[in-house]
Amino acid sequence: MPRFVRLSLHLCVALSSAIALSCFAFQVAAQRDASNRDIEGKIIRNAKATEVLKYMNLLADPCNNFYEFACGKWPEHQPQLEEGDALISVQTQLIQRVQTDVQRLLDAINAKTNSKRNVDKRKIKEFYMSCLTVARSSDMQKNFLMNFVKEYNGMPLLSVTNWNINYDWVQVIARLRLNYGFDFLIGMDVEKKGRAVISLTEPKTTLIPRNLCSAGSALDADKRDAISEQLQTEVSKNLQAWLALRADETDRVAGDIIRFEFELCRFMREEESLPPSKDSKSERIVYEGRDLSDLSKQFGNIINFGKYLDISLNTSTANVEIVMQSPRYFQHLARVARNNPKPTLTNYIMYRALSAINFPRDEAKYPPAPYCTELIMRYFPKFIGQLYYSSTNISYHRSAIQADLEQLFGTIKEALRETLNVDGLPENARRIFQNKLMLYETLSFPKNKNANLRDLPSLERRNFWLMQDIVMKYRGYKEQQRFYGGDAEVDENSVEYTDIQMKLEENGIVTGWGILHPPFYDYVYAKSLKYAIIGQRIARELVGAMIPDEEETEITRDESVMEAFNNISECYRMQYSNFLYNIPNEFYNTSKLRELMTDSAGLNVAFKAYLAWLESVDPSNREILRRETLPGVDFTNTQLFFISFAQSRCYAKYMSEPPPTFLPLGTHTEELFDVNGVLANNVEFAREFGCTPGAEMNPDEKCTVY
C-alpha cells in the first residue's frame, strides 16, 4: 500500500477518534451541566421553600385575612424602621438589588483606560468617583449654589443675589426646564408623530407626597398640621445647610413654601381623586402656537404661555399644536401666582431647584455609594441599562429566559382570548377586543443597544458641582430632542433594562431585566410561581388594553359594554372606599380603580393560563408535576400560586404603635387591599382555601372582569 494512502488512513482513523472523543467529551460536559443545573435547581427550590414558610403566619386564618396568613412574619425579617423612613416592600428590595448590581459595575470600571471604546465609561466613572468623594457641605458647594441662584434671578433670602420685585417667574421656570428639564409649576409633554404636539399639564413632581397632593385628598386638620410641620422642618434645615443661613431666617420661609404648595395641590389630580364632573368627557382644548397670546389672556396674562414654551424649547412654537390639559389647575395657578407675594413664588421655585441639585443631608440614611449610583441611573438610564444588560451575571442564557417568558406570554394571551368568548359580551365588542389582542405579538426587552454619551462634554479635572451641572444640562438637552424627533436620554414613558416593570407598547409588552430576579423570578422556579408573579404582570398589561377608556373610539359607542365596565368600576370603587373609610362614596381615584381592575383581572387570567398549562402536561410526567410544589411546604400547587402572588406584595412600614384592635380601620391600608381585595374577588381563590360564602375573603358580591 502506498505510503501516502496509509498516512491518509491513519489520519482518517485519528480524526474519527478525535471526533468521537470530542463528541463523548461534549456529552459528558452536557451531562455534567445538566447535573449541575439539577443540583442548582434543588438548592433554589429548597431555598424558596424556606423563604415561603419563613414569611407566613400559619396561625392566621387565610379566609379572614390572607395577607396576614401569607406575609404576617415578613416585617420581622426586615431592617428596623424609624419615623420618616420609606415603606419597605418586595418591590423596593428588588430595586435596591438592581442598584447594588449597578454599583458593582460602576466600581469595576477602569477609569484610566485610554481605549476609545471606553470613553463613555470613563465619563461615567469620573462623575461617580467625584460624587463618592465630594463633601456634602463645603465652601465649593456654597459658592456654586450662590452662583446658581444669581444666574436664575436671585432669591429674597440672599441679598447678595440681587433679587428684585420685577422677578419674572415664568421666564425662570422656563429656563430651568430648558437647562435641566425641571417641571416646576408647569408640566409639559412632547409627542412627535409627524408634527410635534405639546401638552401643557400639571407638574409631575411636588414636595408634598403624591397621595396627599390632590384635589380630593381628605386630611383632618391634625394630620395636615403634623405633615406640614414635618415638611417645614425639613425645608428649613435644608436651607440652613445649603446656604449657611440661621433658623430665624429660614423657618418662616419654609412655612410659606409648604403652604404655597398645599394651595397648589387643591386643584391637582382632579381626575384621580374626585367624582367625574358633567363635562368630564368634553373634547380636549387645542391651540396653535400663534394663538398662545389669546390663551394667556384667558388667564389674566399672569401666565405667558408663549414665552414659557419658546424659552423651554429654545425655538419658536408659532406653528406647533398645543393641547391644554387640566385647565382648572392652570386657572388656579394663575390665581395663586397673582395673590401670593413675589418673594413666596421665588423662594418656592428656587427651593425646588436647589433640592434637585443637592445631596440629602442625612448621610446615615443616604450613604454616598448607593446615592451616587441612583444619581447615575437617573441621569443616564439608557447607557446604564445597556451596561447592566451586557454585564449581568446570570446562571442561564438570556435566550432560555426569553423563551421561558415567551411561553408564559403565549399561554396568557390565549387564556385572555378564551375569556372573550363569555356569554353576554356583544359580538361587536368581542371582535374589537380580539382584534386589539392580536396586535400584541411579542414580549421583548428594551432596544437601546446604541446608547452612547458622545454629546456629553468631558468631565475631567472639574469639581463635582460643575460636573453635575454639566450632566444635568446634558439631560435637559436630551429632553429637548423629543421635540425635534430625536431620542431622549430620559423618557419616563419608556422601559429601561434596569426597570422593575413591564409596559404595554404598540406591538407587545416590553419588560425590564430588573424584574427577572428572585423572589419575582428564577428560571428554575415552578410554573405555579412564574404564573402567579410574572404571569400576573403580563396578564395585567394585556387586560389593561381590553378595558375601555375615554380615548376609545369604536367600543365607547356600545352603550351596553360601557355600562357593564362602568358598573364593574363602581363595584371596585365602593369596595375600596368601604375598606379604607367605611364610607361607600369617599374614594374616587380613577387611576387606582383601573389598577385594581387590571390587577384582579390579570390574576384571573394568569390562573386560567396556569390551569391550561397543567392540562397540557402529560399526567405520567410525574417529575414535572412534582416540581410544581415546594419541598416541605404543605400546600398544593394551586394554593402555592395564590401564596406566591401575595408574598410578592409583602411590605413593612413605620408605626409608632400598633392600632387598637377595636378600630379595625386602623389596620386597613392600600397595600393590604392590593392583596386581600384582589384575592377576595377571585372565585378560584375561595375554592382553593375552602372559604365559606360570606367570609371576609369570600364576599357574596364580587367585582369581576375577564
pLDDT over 90 percentage in the chain: 49
Query: What 3-state class would DSSP assign to 39?
Result: helix
Residue 417's pLDDT band, with cuts at 50, 70 and 90, is very high
Q: Running DSSP on this structure, what letter comes out for residue 664?
A: G
* Residue 17 binned pLDDT confidence (cut-offs 50, 70, 90): very low
Residue 2: left (phi > 0), alpha (psi -120 to 50), or beta? Answer: beta
The identity of residue 674, as a single letter, is D
What pLDDT is stored for residue 12 in this prediction?
41
Pairing of strands 321-324, 502-505: unpaired
The secondary structure of residue 166, as a DSSP letter, is: T
pLDDT at 7 over 50: no
Query: How many angstroms separate the CA atoms of 201 and 329, rounded?
Result: 9
Of 55 and 389, more confident: 55
Q: What is the pLDDT of residues 137-183, one digit of tens each?
A: 888 999 999 999 999 999 998 988 889 999 999 999 999 999 999 99
> And the C-alpha cell for 463?
469639581
Strands 508-511 and 502-505: antiparallel
Q: 66 is written with which cell numbers? A: 390572607
The mean pLDDT of 686-705, rounded to a whole number, is 93
Query: Distance between CA atoms of 191 and 185, rounded to whole angstroms?
Result: 20
**pLDDT, tens only, 281-316:** 445 678 888 888 888 998 889 999 999 999 999 888
Amino acid present at 219: L
Average pLDDT for 49-60: 96
Give the residue among 228, 155, 185 at the shortest CA–CA distance from 337: 185
Higher pLDDT, 13 or 267: 267
Query: Which amino acid, 6?
Result: R
Instruction: Indicate if the pLDDT at residue 10 is higher than 50.
Output: no
Query: Which residues have CB under 8 Å from 422's CB, separation 6+?
Result: none
| Residue 342 DSSP symbol | H
Rounded distance between C-alpha atoms, residue 25 and residue 43, angstroms: 26
How many CB atoms lie under 10 A from the CB of residue 49?
A: 16
Cβ 670 vs Cβ 677: under 8 Å: no
Backbone angles phi and psi of 182, in degrees to 5: -70, 145
Other C-beta atoms closer than 10 Å to the C-beta of 244 total 13
Count CB-CB contacts under 10 A for residue 472.
18
DSSP state of 282: P
**pTM for the full model?**
0.86
pLDDT tens track for 380-414: 998 998 888 887 655 557 888 989 999 999 999 99
- Could you tell me the three cell numbers for 172? 425662570
Pick the CATH number of 167-357 from 1.10.1380.10, 3.30.2350.10, 1.25.10.10, 3.40.640.10: 1.10.1380.10
